[in-house]
Amino acid sequence: MPAITSSVVLRTTLLLVCSNVFMTFAWYGHLRDLSSRPWYVAALVSWGIALFEYLLQVPANRIGYTQLDLGQLKILQEVITLGVFVPFAVYYMRQPLKWDYLWAALCMVGAVYFMFRGEPSVSVVSHQASGVSVSDQSSVISADSGRQLTTEN
């Protein structure tokens, strides 16, 4: 993957941050603002907010998928979600800032490392129509994307 500061990754990240702001309000804002209203009112309002999330999230994932694989996109999304959720919880929902957020973020650092470290010590083999195959010297791990990795036995 090119440098993490690439235009594609930066645009993807910015769109996902904006998308996550809408998502967080859609998922949790009603707990504060609409708690006295019937659940279906909260659901309709949340769906309206979620529309704006999807208008940003879908292009973000399409742009990002040109340089990132699916796993990298997912971990990027999760890191951004935590980064948006913590200020939302503390400032908007008036929840206490807890050490658990830090521990969760440290776990995310590990996830980011494993997803962005580059090719692990496995070799890539061509896509086979059968999905998963095992040869005499290695086992094959098949991904939905059609990429297969072999691990040394």
- Expressed in angstroms, the distance from the first to the final Cα of the chain is 27
List of residues 6+ apart from 72 with CB closer than 8 A: 1, 64, 115, 116
- Report whether pLDDT(133) > 90: no
What local confidence, expressed as pLDDT, does residue 117 receive? 87
pLDDT tier at 3, thresholds 50, 70, 90: low
- Report whether pLDDT(91) > 70: yes
What local confidence, expressed as pLDDT, does residue 4 receive? 52
Over residues 47-81, the pLDDT tens digits come to: 999 999 999 999 999 999 999 999 999 999 999 99
The Cα 86–Cα 108 span in angstroms is 14
- Report whether pLDDT(115) > 80: yes
What local confidence, expressed as pLDDT, does residue 116 receive? 87
